[in-house]
Amino acid sequence: MAKPPWLKIGLPTGKYNCTKEILDKLGVTTVCREAKCPNVNECWGNGTATIMILGDVCTRGCKFCNTKTAAEGRKVDGTEPERVARAARLLGLRYIVITSVDRDDLEDFGALHFAKCISAVRKECPNIKIEILAPDFQGNLDFVDIVCNSSPDVFGHNVEVVERLQKAVRDPRASYKVSLDVLRHVATKYSHIVTKSALMVGMGESEEEVLSTLRDLRSAGVKAVAIGQYLQPTKMHYPVKEYVTPEQFRRYGDAAREMGFYYVASGPFVRSSYMAGRIFPENCNRV
């Protein structure tokens, strides 16, 4: 299926090379490259990146994701929290997104390491806003609490697709209900933390299914949502069923705002961490 003209990706600009040099020097992994994000040129050109911790090997095999998979991930690197914090300082960030691969092979699924990274960044950059994009921790709310008690400003966890497509697209260990339960727990117990989720479209869902998902997220207390076009990483991944038009994305965005979401990003190139700092407008620019 040929891509429409509104999905044209720009060339690297601005601070791209500088950002790449700093991240490579510190050995910091980004989801920008691992997941072949279409916004890498724009984001790196503006000196921002989404940091991926706990290695570059995921223990799950979702059919939409280009990240490497295996039964066991990389050995956890105890120096990573400090390296991530140093990258945040050298890049002059006021807002950072920290995500990870799924680590079902670890006893706490990586929760304590998440907390250590958040604390290290906060120590190195006291005024920074920290957003995390967390796995579901297999629904273990004690591990969710470990992460939340390290005081991120935003707790993100993606439902990824509408409920009907969950089994076809996500790893069997993932669950629409578990994802909503995790988000509801954070929204209820940690009201000072902004809860966030993201949804891919163009995978065969109907408009009503998208609206139903948005209603489910809002009912779970989610305050911020991102809606973007699914792009097939390779021929081995789940196929694109439709290229959703910019007009349809505007309708989804308008509907989400009418439902009361605090922050909405909806568009062909939107990903869960795209322009994330706009949740806190005063912190979306570099120092």
The CATH fold assigned to 5-283 is: TIM Barrel (3.20.20)
More confident residue, 188 or 46: 188
pLDDT band at 284 (very low <50, low <70, confident <90, very high): very low
Chain segment 195-222, per-residue pLDDT in tens: 999 999 999 999 999 999 999 999 999 9
Contact present, 61 and 171 (Cβ < 8 Å): yes
pLDDT at 76: 96
pLDDT band at 94 (very low <50, low <70, confident <90, very high): confident
Long-range contacts of 115-119 (CB under 8 A, 24+ apart): 115/146, 115/147, 115/149, 115/150, 116/81, 116/150, 117/51, 117/53, 117/80, 117/81, 117/84, 117/85, 118/147, 118/150, 118/151, 118/152, 119/81, 119/150
Delimit the domains of the chain by residue range: 5-283
pTM for this entry: 0.89
